[in-house]
Structure 1
Amino acid sequence: MILYIAEKPSLGRAVASALPRPHKNGDGFITVGNGDVVSWCIGHLLEQAQPEAYNAEFKKWSTAHLPIVPEQWKLEIKPKTRKQFTVLKKLIKQADVLVNVGDPDREGQILIDEVINHCKVPKAKLQATQRCLISDLNTAAVKKSLNNLRSNTEFVPLATSALARARADWLYGINLTRLCTLKGQQSGFQGVLSVGRVQTPLLGLVVHRDLEIENFVSKPFYEVFVTLETAAKESFQAKWKPSKACEDYMDDDGRVLSKKLAETVIAKVSGKAGVITNVTQAKKKQAPPLPYNLSTLQIDAAKRFGLSAKQVLDVCQTLYERHKLITYPRSDCRYLPLEHYSEAAQVTSAIAKTCNNLSKAVSGANLSLKTKAWNDSKVSAHHAIIPTMKAMSGAALSRDEANVYELIARQYLIQFYPPFEYADKQIDSEVGGGLFIAKQKDVLKEGWKALFPKPKTKSATKGFNVSSPATTRGGVGHSQGPQDTDAAGFSNKTLPTVNKGDSVLCTDADLAEKQTSPPKHFTDATLLGAMTGIARYVSDPAIKKVLRETDGIGTEATRAGIIELLFSREFLTRKGKEIRATNIGIQLITSLPDVMGHPDMTAHWESQLEAISQRQMKYGQFMQPMVEGLNQLIDEVSAVQFQGLQGLGKSPFKKRGKGGLKNWGAKGSKSGASKSGSKGSKAKATTKARGSKSRSSKKT
């Protein structure tokens, strides 16, 4: 008998639908027509044992016990799902062959493997265990996956990576949450100060940004724009690019801070003759962006519809499990296997029937085109999120479901549209010893961009295209001149036809005075972007270099839950679309050692965990240094005084006999270790974020 073990009941039923009939429903399993059986987990059936499982004294929170580092790790059966574990244990013993049908990711792999291992399966049966990777719950796709089973041993590194992550999260969360909470109570804080290797640096990103904004001091900076006239009496505008000789009068972002310098430039060039020093123009093509993975989908949905990361994930799970309209949503991959290319006609037909807004786009698609998205070498356990071949009436979908489906479908359709083409032109001129640059970008062929709303046009200021103060970089790389441009810098006015060596005359020069602006508060979109592009926030150059390839903290499956976790613990709150730190969150981060509130350490962990999954690092090479670093952090945090938290917080503790505090932190400090994070939790934070002095450097 073959036993197929799915990650959840919905996946189990999808597997059974692809196997021979008739089916007989049992209690927690389905027997199919040929005698094989499909059963399932209900998420994790096992969990890391509580500290008191290693020593009864650990039930009481005490600094004397720290660090708690198990010598032999234990898993416990979760009480709520003990019945289903018992069902699986019996079936595993009866089965001749086992098939792991966990979701195609790190968590899905370990979730099934840990059950099999906990049941003490004989070595021979363990070696014979198969792996089924399912990313599309429609019956035809499931059948294809069942016909392409692989050896489960191929995925041992993936399971090892998940195991290392779970144990590291336990060690970091249990020990530092207990220590911080006890230190907080000594300072008069009522509540739990939960700490996690992902949640705490993520909170740190928000806190440091908020404090940077609060402490920001605006400074004026200056730009010079000139009007140049050719011999043919054609005029165009250009922007001054300061030379290296001006660096003493500029900030780190290349902005000129000296008004006198800018006025001197104007005096030197007004009415003076100049010369064209260089003319460059080229036709360029821009290929369509790749299909979505979960993070890029969440970012776009947040920008377009104001949905939180968790809302997007929940909608995707419904589209995947209930409606079967999209493929596996928790994917970190943006590429597609070549075999899916042959299904394009069926998929696009389903899009047209499901989403009326895209029916015209479907008819205009050229299914003979093949973008770089189709690349087997870039696909591992799962592929990008795309629509399935199933169609249904869009009227049956909720507004959020229809919106998210449309995003996914459009991103798939643009793979069958030609590149976006544009002309890029630049004229460099020298007047009075200064360099002035004029740029122009013109659309030649819209290509795939025709499927997207037209970008808004920027309004001109004093007749010139002036970038916003927050993004200006001293004229380097920005469009010049009075022409109106869209958000991408495309023009509706053209530069004249000139050649290198042609003379020009400066007929006018203007000084533009602007103010530096603080960075913006995080939103759902930008915070997710920070998590996936964490290298931008890492200070260690060596770690930054490593992270350029293995970028990101958290996983596709856990990021939404980690963000929600910080809201539920009243470390973050919302103000409109902005995400801000509460006073509790600010005081926690500014009291802890810097390494805990910055992403360098956890980002480095993520890169090492990825290395384990790729067979480039061993479990012990990750865990031993991690434990050594934990001991050092415990010493540092032991000296912390959370004075700023006095009188804040609400105690969630309940007495547990003489054992003292309920062991809330053991489960509550997983930092997104569970796949769903804090399911269903809503932000209850009402504490208003107030200022305190930041240890982060000021930025202007």
Structure 2
Amino acid sequence: MILYIAEKPSLARAIADVLPKPHKKQDGFIELGNGDCVSWCLGHLLELADPADYNPDFKPWRFEHLPIIPDEWKLKPRTQTRSQLTVLRRLIRQSKQLVHAGDPDREGQLLVDEVINYLGASATKKRTAQRVLISDLNPKAVSSALQNLKPNSDFIPLSVSALARSRADWIYGINMTRAYSIQGRKAGYQGVLSVGRVQTPLLGLVVRRDAEIENFVSKPFYEVQAVIETEAGERFNAKWKPSDNCQPYQDDEGRVLNRKLAETVISRIKGQPAELLSLTQKRKRENAPLPFSLSSLQIEAAKRFGMSAKDVLDNCQKLYERHKLLTYPRSDCRYLPEDHFTQAGEVIASITNNQPNLAEHLPQIDAGRRSAAWNNKKVSAHHAIIPTTRQANLASLNDAERKLYTLVSRYYLAQFMPAYEYDDTRVDLRIAGGQFIANAHQTKNLGWKPLLSDAAEKHSSLPVLQEGQPLTCIEGILDEKNTQPPKHFTDATLLAAMTGIGRYVTDPEIRKVLKETDGLGTEATRAGIIELLFTRGFLNREGKAICSTEVGRALINCLPESATTPDMTALWESELSRVCQQEASYNSFMQPLTERLKTLIAQSSQVVIPDTLKALSPKPKPKRRTSRTGARKPTTGAKRAPAKSKKTTPSRKPASRKA
């Protein structure tokens, strides 16, 4: 018997739908017509054991117990999913062949692997296990994936990487959270001061940005525009570019802070000849942006619709699982496999049938045009998020689902439209020894622009010029402006910071190591991490702005800098990527981490949490009233729980993923 183990029931049903019928729905699995079975996990069936599971003395939080580092790691079943684990135990024992059907990412690989190992599958079954990678739940795509099984052993490095990350997060998070929460209680703060290798650097970004804004002092700066006239009386403006000699009067961004310097330039150039040093005109092409990864979709949806990262992920998950209109949403890739190009015509037809308003762009769409999105070298376990070939009535979607499906559809269609083309002109002038620059931008072909925005043709023209022709500066214009404080983070900019974390790394050597795609957290966890910081009371919203609270600021100010900047976690992600590529080992990642943790715990014993946090302690939850018999009464407005029968069936809802 072949046993297919899917990550979720929705994926299991999609697999069973394309396998031999008739089907028998059993408790926790589907029996196929040929005797094979399809079963499933419910998200994570297992979790890392708690400290108290290693030693009961660890249940109370005491500083002398730290750091807690297990010698042998333990997993334990989640209480609400024990019955499904029992089903899988029996099926694995009965099976002759296992097919791993976890989601096509690092977490999905580990999730099923750890179940297979925990339930004692034989060495032979583990060695011969197959892997199926499914990113589209429609029958044709599922059938194709099942015909391209790969040895599960090929994905061991991916699983090891996920295991290392999971254990490292446990060690770091549990020990640092206990250490600083214990120090907080000494100051009277009764909440949890949680510390994590991703959540804390993210909080640090917000705290530092808020401090920059609070401490910002606006300064005036000055720009000079020269008004140039040709012999024919045509005029245009050119902007002054300060020379190196002006650096003492400029800020770090090159803005001139000295008004007298700008006024001197104006007095010197008025009425002077303008020498045209060079004239360059280039026809430039801008191709459509690539299809979405989850983070890029979350950023764009936050800008366009004001959606939070969690809202985008939740609705994309429904579009993938329930409606089958999108491919796998937890993707960190913006590229597509080259063999997928043969399906382009079907996908385009489905998009325009489902959304007739997009059919107006069909004259510009060429299904034979291949953009840079199709690139096997850039695709690993999963590809970009794109629409499927499924036909659907969009009236069945909620507003958020409809907006996201349409946005993803537009970015896919843009791959088959012409490039945006424009002429870019630059004129370099010398006036009274100073350098001035004029630019012009003229649209030639809007291409894909109307599909993704309300783009109109841009025209900033210059008169017809040629080198050596006589020009005159008839006057100078002084523009006085004021420096502006940085803006508070929003959902879009905070997500952008997480995906492009290299910009915030303080160590220049570490910044060199990081690739552009390295980020803070993973596609699957970023939304949850942001929400966790709100739940903990470390962040709050002020309109679209995301700001730190007093508790969040106090925590960051008490922690060592290495725990509050992205340098450490960026190095983690870089090293975990090396583990995936078999360029580094599990031990080479874990050993330095545990040694560093001992130092951090020792430092935390000297930390003093401000006693002002005592007043900010979370309010305790009200206790339920009890009846005379001692039974608890429900609080006002709560529904009375149904009476328990002798036999209870555990919830079949998927366990939530850990952030």
- What TM-score, normalized to structure 1? 0.88
The CA distance in 1 between the partners of 2:618 and 2:274, in whole Å, is 70
The CA distance in 1 between the partners of 2:114 and 2:363, in whole Å, is 48
Contact 1:203 1:581 in 2 (8 A): yes
Could you tell me which residue of structure 2 aligns to residue 625 of structure 1? 592
Kindly indicate whether residue 644 of structure 2 is the aligned counterpart of residue 676 of structure 1: no
Q: Secondary structure at the match of 2:459?
A: coil
Q: Secondary structure at the match of 1:84?
A: helix
Cα deviation for residue 231 of structure 1 reads 2.6
Could you tell me which residue of structure 2 aligns to residue 494 of structure 1? 461
Cα deviation for residue 651 of structure 1 reads 6.0
**1:212 partner amino acid:** E
The CA distance in 2 between the partners of 1:192 and 1:597, in whole Å, is 17
Q: Secondary structure at the match of 1:38?
A: strand
The CA distance in 2 between the partners of 1:359 and 1:308, in whole Å, is 30
Could you report, residue by residue, the CA deviation over 1:92-149 in whole angstroms, capped at 9, with x for unpaired residues? 1110000110000000000000000111222111110000000000011101111100
Could you tell me which residue of structure 2 aligns to residue 40 of structure 1? 40
Could you tell me which residue of structure 1 aligns to residue 499 of structure 2? 532
Cα deviation for residue 193 of structure 1 reads 0.5
Q: Secondary structure at the match of 2:448?
A: helix
**1:585 partner amino acid:** G
**1:592 partner amino acid:** L
Aligned pairs (5 A) from 1:188-203: 188-203=188-203
Could you tell me which residue of structure 1 aligns to residue 559 of structure 2? 592
Could you tell me which residue of structure 2 aligns to residue 245 of structure 1? 245
The CA distance in 1 between the partners of 2:342 and 2:400, in whole Å, is 30
Deviates more, 1:343-352 or 1:297-306: 343-352
Could you tell me which residue of structure 2 aligns to residue 396 of structure 1? 396
Contact 1:269 1:506 in 2 (8 A): yes
Cα deviation for residue 288 of structure 1 reads 1.0
Aligned pairs (5 A) from 1:249-260: 249-260=249-260
Contact 1:191 1:652 in 2 (8 A): no
The CA distance in 2 between the partners of 1:90 and 1:526, in whole Å, is 48
The CA distance in 2 between the partners of 1:638 and 1:407, in whole Å, is 51
Cα distance, 1:107–1:82 mapped onto 2, change above 3 Å = same
Kindly indicate whether residue 473 of structure 2 is the aligned counterpart of residue 506 of structure 1: yes
Could you report, residue by residue, the CA deviation over 1:286-345 in whole angstroms, capped at 9, with x for unpaired residues? 111110000000000000000000000001001000000010000001111111111111
Deviates more, 1:501-510 or 1:285-294: 501-510
Q: Secondary structure at the match of 1:422?
A: strand
Cα distance, 1:445–1:491 mapped onto 2, change above 3 Å = closer
Could you tell me which residue of structure 1 aligns to residue 617 of structure 2? 649
The CA distance in 1 between the partners of 2:82 and 2:226, in whole Å, is 76
Equivalent residue for 2:520, pick from 547, 550, 553: 553
Task: Give the root-mean-square deviation of aligned CA atoms.
Answer: 1.5
Could you report, residue by residue, the CA deviation over 1:173-207 in whole angstroms, capped at 9, with x for unpaired residues? 10010011000000111211111100001011111
Cα distance, 1:192–1:493 mapped onto 2, change above 3 Å = closer
Kindly indicate whether residue 183 of structure 2 is the aligned counterpart of residue 183 of structure 1: yes
Q: Secondary structure at the match of 2:283?
A: strand
Identical pairs, percent: 55
The CA distance in 2 between the partners of 1:261 and 1:204, in whole Å, is 39
Could you tell me which residue of structure 1 aligns to residue 537 of structure 2? 570
**2:53 partner amino acid:** A
The CA distance in 2 between the partners of 1:278 and 1:165, in whole Å, is 55
The CA distance in 2 between the partners of 1:531 and 1:417, in whole Å, is 31
The CA distance in 2 between the partners of 1:650 and 1:558, in whole Å, is 25
Could you tell me which residue of structure 1 aligns to residue 207 of structure 2? 207
Could you tell me which residue of structure 2 aligns to residue 331 of structure 1? 331
The CA distance in 1 between the partners of 2:291 and 2:458, in whole Å, is 28
The CA distance in 2 between the partners of 1:645 and 1:610, in whole Å, is 39
Could you tell me which residue of structure 1 aligns to residue 627 of structure 2? none
Q: Secondary structure at the match of 1:647?
A: helix
Could you report, residue by residue, the CA deviation over 1:47-102 in whole angstroms, capped at 9, with x for unpaired residues? 00000111111011100000000010110111110000010011011100001100
Cα distance, 1:604–1:183 mapped onto 2, change above 3 Å = same
Contact 1:587 1:642 in 2 (8 A): yes
Contact 2:44 2:657 in 1 (8 A): no
- What TM-score, normalized to structure 2? 0.93
Cα deviation for residue 453 of structure 1 reads 2.6
Could you tell me which residue of structure 1 aligns to residue 642 of structure 2? none
The CA distance in 1 between the partners of 2:620 and 2:514, in whole Å, is 38
Aligned pairs (5 A) from 1:655-666: none
Q: Secondary structure at the match of 1:73?
A: coil
**1:621 partner amino acid:** S
Could you tell me which residue of structure 2 aligns to residue 269 of structure 1? 269
The CA distance in 2 between the partners of 1:223 and 1:54, in whole Å, is 67
The CA distance in 2 between the partners of 1:135 and 1:493, in whole Å, is 45
The CA distance in 2 between the partners of 1:97 and 1:309, in whole Å, is 39
Contact 1:225 1:509 in 2 (8 A): yes
Could you tell me which residue of structure 2 aligns to residue 520 of structure 1? 487
The CA distance in 1 between the partners of 2:17 and 2:233, in whole Å, is 76
Cα distance, 1:651–1:493 mapped onto 2, change above 3 Å = closer
**2:181 partner amino acid:** T
The CA distance in 1 between the partners of 2:98 and 2:139, in whole Å, is 21
Deviates more, 1:5-14 or 1:223-232: 223-232
Cα deviation for residue 235 of structure 1 reads 1.1
The CA distance in 2 between the partners of 1:651 and 1:642, in whole Å, is 19
Cα deviation for residue 233 of structure 1 reads 2.3
Aligned pairs (5 A) from 1:267-416: 267-416=267-416
Cα deviation for residue 42 of structure 1 reads 0.3
**1:284 partner amino acid:** K
Contact 1:562 1:677 in 2 (8 A): no
Q: Secondary structure at the match of 2:528?
A: helix
The CA distance in 2 between the partners of 1:395 and 1:51, in whole Å, is 49
Deviates more, 1:517-526 or 1:632-641: 632-641
Contact 2:347 2:387 in 1 (8 A): yes
Q: Secondary structure at the match of 1:505?
A: strand
**1:388 partner amino acid:** T
Cα deviation for residue 675 of structure 1 reads 6.6
**1:520 partner amino acid:** K
Cα deviation for residue 362 of structure 1 reads 3.7
The CA distance in 1 between the partners of 2:362 and 2:27, in whole Å, is 45
The CA distance in 1 between the partners of 2:330 and 2:234, in whole Å, is 56
The CA distance in 1 between the partners of 2:180 and 2:383, in whole Å, is 41
| Number of equivalent positions | 627
Cα deviation for residue 369 of structure 1 reads 0.3
Contact 2:228 2:236 in 1 (8 A): yes
Contact 1:295 1:332 in 2 (8 A): yes
The CA distance in 1 between the partners of 2:360 and 2:518, in whole Å, is 37
Gaps of 5+ in 1: 456-485, 656-673, 679-700
